[in-house]
Structure 1
Amino acid sequence: MARVVSVFHSTKKQITVERLLTLSTVVVLVLLWFIVTELKLVSDILVPSPHKVIKSFFEIAKDGYKENSLLTHLGDSMIRLIGSFLLVIITAIPLGLISGYNSKIRAIVDPLIEFYRPLPPLAYYTLLVLWMGIENSSKIALLYLAGFAPVYISCVSGVRKIKNDYIDGAYTLGANSRQVFFHVIFPACLPDMFVGVRTAIGVAYTTLVAAEMVAAVTGIGWMVLDASKFLRSDIIFLGIFIMGITGIIIDGIIRVVESKVVPWKGKE
């Protein structure tokens, strides 16, 4: 019992130290940014001061940007991102699990994934616009394709690295194929699945700017691109911070869900 208590306090202390290190990293970076801009080591056009970025945030929060509020820009980006992400989850996960379980299906699907996966998003975005128009459907499709491959590949990898002993043991105990899939294969793949999901949301978010480049008038990515035309580096920095913070929040939500669904991860 004393050993368990000792390990608990040691782990708690380690987490506290790690959080302090994370906080100190952020503080140091902000201080360096402040010092560089205050001493005017770099042109204000290239690197705006923290005060200027904060001022731009309050101005846009109050008056909006190009006739649309900040919440509208953020909301439209989130609709495109989360809409595509939900489509990825309900299609890539089942297909990845089935492909990992069935080599014939994998032989059919893998060539398609491996062909388009290395392609830059803008290479096929013009085709999506021609096929689906300039509305949200083409943008969601682009983000969907960007996020599909990481989730699919992680699910296939998760299935293929399951030890045969687990599957054979389940069959020996009288389980059928359906029970083996849902009670052995699926739980064993969850850690890899969440890695793929977290990777996919990052890839999709980085593609968001490309998705909002063509015929968009709202979105955080579009706001950054539009501001760059007028050398508004303060708005560019603001947009980057908003995308970074929302990305961290979304990833944090996924990690919380993962801790509830896969409590055994890292405790083997």
Structure 2
Amino acid sequence: MPKLAKLKCWISKKISIERLLTIGTILVLFLIWFAVTELKLVSGILVPSPRKVFSSFVQILQEGYKDHSLLTHLTDSLMRLLSSFVLVILTAVPLGLLSGYNSKIRAIMYPLVEFYRPLPPLAYYTLLVLWMGIEDSSKIALLYLAGFAPVFIACESGVRKLKQDYIDGAYTLGADSRQIFYHVVFPSCLPDIFIGLRTAFGVSYTTLVAAEMVAAVTGIGWMVLDASKFLRSDIIFVGIIIMGLTGMLIDAMLRAIEQAVVPWKGKE
């Protein structure tokens, strides 16, 4: 058998094993959850049974939650999340790349980002509400700030670790600073940009509940928070599972875009 065919066979077998491990892990966790609730090792208020969670999901799917359908809750949350994500792409990517490329811009931007990055979102959310009101604008602003820092730092770091030989080679061939930025720096930093975007999306999603705490009546995060007031752990589980699955789906979409845009990643 040719070496190439052997390699393909080995890769296919490895992927199959990894897929089986993933499926097996999910099944084991589900069986543990089922056994713990069926044997009543913990209170049903704290950990609802899979049957109860599924029943609540069907009920919310049919009747909605607090006068709004499940689709409305999910759509409103995703609209807030994706609106902030688009703003992050439009601002954090160019500013991060420019900061890595230009020391003067980095001197202006880096202290600002480093100052607010460690702050808990709720620490400045009250200020955003005072400045922008209780509508979606303050929520989008909070999610935007949560996602800006990871993308900015990833882009800035990607530029700074770029090999100087690439830039010197481009200068030798007659390229100017603008051409080097667009044709050397930007393509070389694409893997780091996508890492930053995937990280930022996860950070923004974890901030979603905080964003929907104030004066919201829709949203998956709000639904989870509202259910916690009435000890409805079954609805909390429904919301968490929906957020987890939608987060995985969007991350898979980002990875698919990355594979299409950066086909050379990981290849020498």
Same fold (TM over 0.5): yes
Q: TM-score, normalised by structure 2?
A: 0.99
Structure 2 unmatched ranges of 5 or more = none
2:201 is matched with which residue?
201
The reply on whether 1:266 has 2:250 as its aligned counterpart is no
What secondary structure is seen at the aligned counterpart in 2 of 1:216?
A: coil
RMSD: 0.8
How big is the shift at 1:13? 1.4
2:260 and 2:18 map into 1 onto residues whose CA distance is: 22
How big is the shift at 1:9? 1.7
The reply on whether 1:186 has 2:202 as its aligned counterpart is no
2:162 and 2:196 map into 1 onto residues whose CA distance is: 17
1:247 and 1:220 map into 2 onto residues whose CA distance is: 12
Structure 1 unmatched ranges of 5 or more = none
1:237 is matched with which residue?
237
1:23 is matched with which residue?
23
**1:164-183 superposed Cα distances (whole Å, 9 cap, x missing partner):** 00100111111121221111
Alignment-mate amino acid for residue 170 of structure 1? A
1:158 and 1:179 map into 2 onto residues whose CA distance is: 18
Identity of aligned residues (%): 73
Alignment-mate amino acid for residue 80 of structure 1? R
1:179 and 1:12 map into 2 onto residues whose CA distance is: 42
1:162 is matched with which residue?
162
1:13 is matched with which residue?
13
How big is the shift at 1:266? 1.3
Alignment-mate amino acid for residue 18 of structure 2? E
Alignment-mate amino acid for residue 58 of structure 1? V
Superposed, 1:1-268 pairs within 5 Å as 2-268=2-268
2:68 and 2:12 map into 1 onto residues whose CA distance is: 45
1:34 and 1:146 map into 2 onto residues whose CA distance is: 36
Moved more, 72-81 or 174-183: 174-183
Alignment-mate amino acid for residue 88 of structure 2? V
How big is the shift at 1:15? 1.2
What secondary structure is seen at the aligned counterpart in 2 of 1:200?
A: helix
How big is the shift at 1:121? 0.1
What secondary structure is seen at the aligned counterpart in 1 of 2:215?
A: coil
Structure 1 runs (4+) greater than 4 angstroms displaced? none
How big is the shift at 1:66? 0.2
**1:7-50 superposed Cα distances (whole Å, 9 cap, x missing partner):** 12211211111111111000000000000000000000000000
1:14 and 1:89 map into 2 onto residues whose CA distance is: 35
Alignment-mate amino acid for residue 121 of structure 2? P
How big is the shift at 1:155? 0.1
1:46 and 1:151 map into 2 onto residues whose CA distance is: 37
1:152 and 1:169 map into 2 onto residues whose CA distance is: 27
How big is the shift at 1:5? 1.9
Q: How many residues align?
A: 268
**1:39-88 superposed Cα distances (whole Å, 9 cap, x missing partner):** 00000000000000000000000000000000000000000000000000
Alignment-mate amino acid for residue 216 of structure 2? A
